[in-house]
């Protein structure tokens, strides 16, 4: 295992210290510092940029050939860190504690050490890891001081306002779809360094704003959470697959929620974000699409088609079909019958 000591802030010192430890050069373009891993160390790169108002961001896109442990040291208060694992896994612990936090894909953590104690982040040998670390110097980040104190929840003020690091803080969860979209934008942004600097400053604030919204949502009970987490996207897509494969059954929303393991509020939010639709409207669209297909390509009578799309009332089926296609099912079939 390689143990490396680096300064915490500003983030350019992280890159410089890593480059020195690995005996590698680093590149500087505008505000962006970059060190590329050599073949004997591994694959990938580590990149960092100071943004504004005490914010900085470090990106680790690495696969090391050995276990690597990075010790963040500083002779004064360490930054508040927002850690996001978008691929692979890594470990975090406070330098004065033995508790190991094992974070995997789609997980995130908010971490703040006590006093001058630092952070230790560990990477496993031969595992590809994508880690984003948004770093905040709380003493420099004074934007919240310009807002009335009553607009800040006490727990938020305690986290952001602890500029002397009187308490340690750790909060773990799964990051939201909104955060995942920002990471995807960062990954795919390939313009020149000047525009990238502006883009990254904007992205830093997007990450922070979405993170605060998610943290507040995390304080709610599971059934009252509305922010869609990235790992839950696959479950929403499972719900869509379940609807398509079981459209003949008159499943309720409750049935679908039980099938995929999401609350109704979370599932509704997923359909809103991913499909711009409610669950019921989505089911109705699937039924109407199937009905139109059956009317065009089969000899099933209307009653049989009503059954096959999961409805029990022929009159109700005719009503919603006409609302969708501006004609009755019979008229629709006649219009689409292919004449020899």
Inter-helix orientation angle 253-260/264-275, to 10°: 90
Q: In this structure, are 239 and 100 located in the same domain?
A: no
Mean pLDDT by 10 residues, the chain (340 residues): 84 91 93 94 95 92 96 80 96 92 94 89 96 90 64 68 85 90 91 88 94 88 81 92 91 92 90 92 95 93 94 94 94 78
Answer with the one of 219, 243, 264 that is the final residue of a domain: 219
> Do residues 254 and 134 share a domain?
no
Same domain, 7 and 152: yes
- Domain region containing 298: 281-336
Residue 251's pLDDT is what? Answer: 78
Answer yes or no: do 125 and 158 share one domain.
yes
Provide the CATH number for the domain around residue 311. 1.10.10.60
Using CB atoms within 10 A of its CB, is residue 314 exposed (0-12), middle (13-18) or buried (19+)? middle
CA dist 78 and 263 (Å) reads: 38
Count of C-beta atoms within a 10 Å radius of residue 2: 14
What CATH number does the domain containing 15 carry?
A: 2.60.120.10
- One domain, residues 257 and 319: no
Same domain for 42 and 170, yes or no, is yes
106 and 20 part of one domain = yes
| 192 and 332 share one domain | no
Which of 219, 235, 250 finishes a domain? 219
Q: Could you tell me if 70 and 64 are in contact, meaning their C-beta atoms sit under 8 angstroms apart?
A: no
Q: Are residues 238 and 300 in the same domain?
A: no
DSSP string covering 141-161, please? Answer: --GGGGS-GGGS-HHHHHHHS
- Specify the pLDDT at position 340: 46
Q: Could you give the number of structural domains in the chain?
A: 3
Residues 239 and 204 in one domain: no
Question: Would you call 232 exposed, middle or buried from its count of C-beta atoms within 10 A (0-12, 13-18, 19+)?
Answer: buried
The verdict on 128 and 243 lying in the same domain is: no
Looking at 219, 239, 261, the residue that finishes a domain is 219
Looking at residue 110, its pLDDT comes to 94
Same domain, residue pair 12 and 75: yes
**Predicted local distance difference test score (pLDDT) of residue 339:** 52
Query: Do the strands 68-73 and 80-87 form a parallel or antiparallel pair, or are they unpaired?
Result: unpaired
Torsion, Cα of 210, 213, 216, 220 (10° steps): -100
């Amino acid at each position: 295992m390689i143990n490396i000591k680096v300064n915490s802030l500003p983030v350019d010192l992280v890159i410089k210290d890593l480059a020195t430890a690995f005996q590698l050069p680093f590149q500087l373009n505008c505000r962006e510092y970059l060190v590329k891993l050599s073949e004997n160390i591994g694959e990938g790169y580590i990149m960092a940029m100071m943004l504004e108002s005490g914010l900085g961001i470090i990106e680790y896109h690495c696969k090391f050939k050995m276990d690597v442990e990075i010790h963040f040291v500083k002779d004064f208060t360490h930054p508040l860190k927002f850690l996001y694992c978008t691929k692979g896994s890594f470990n975090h612990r406070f330098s004065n504690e033995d508790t190991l936090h094992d974070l995997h894909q789609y997980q995130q953590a908010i971490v703040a050490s006590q006093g001058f104690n630092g952070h230790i982040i560990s990477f496993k040998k031969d595992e590809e890891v994508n880690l984003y670390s948004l770093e905040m110097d709380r003493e420099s980040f004074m934007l919240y001081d310009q807002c009335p104190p009553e607009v800040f929840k006490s727990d938020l003020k305690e986290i952001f306002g602890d500029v002397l690091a009187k308490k340690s803080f750790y909060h773990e969860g799964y990051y939201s779809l909104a955060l995942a979209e920002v990471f995807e934008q960062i990954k795919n942004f390939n313009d020149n360094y000047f525009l990238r600097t502006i883009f990254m400053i904007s992205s830093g604030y997007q990450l922070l704003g979405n993170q605060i919204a998610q943290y507040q949502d995390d304080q709610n009970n599971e059934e009252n959470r509305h922010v869609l987490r990235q790992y839950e996207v696959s479950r929403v897509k499972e719900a869509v697959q379940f609807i398509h494969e079981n459209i003949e059954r008159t499943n309720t929303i409750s049935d679908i929620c039980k099938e995929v393991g999401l609350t109704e509020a979370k599932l509704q939010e997923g359909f809103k974000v991913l499909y711009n639709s409610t669950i019921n409207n989505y089911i109705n669209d699937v039924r109407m699409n199937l009905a139109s297909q059956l009317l065009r390509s089969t000899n099933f009578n209307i009653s049989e088609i009503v059954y096959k799309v999961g409805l029990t009332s022929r009159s109700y089926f005719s009503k919603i079909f006409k609302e969708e296609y501006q004609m009755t099912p019979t008229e629709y079939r006649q219009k689409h019958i292919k004449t020899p």
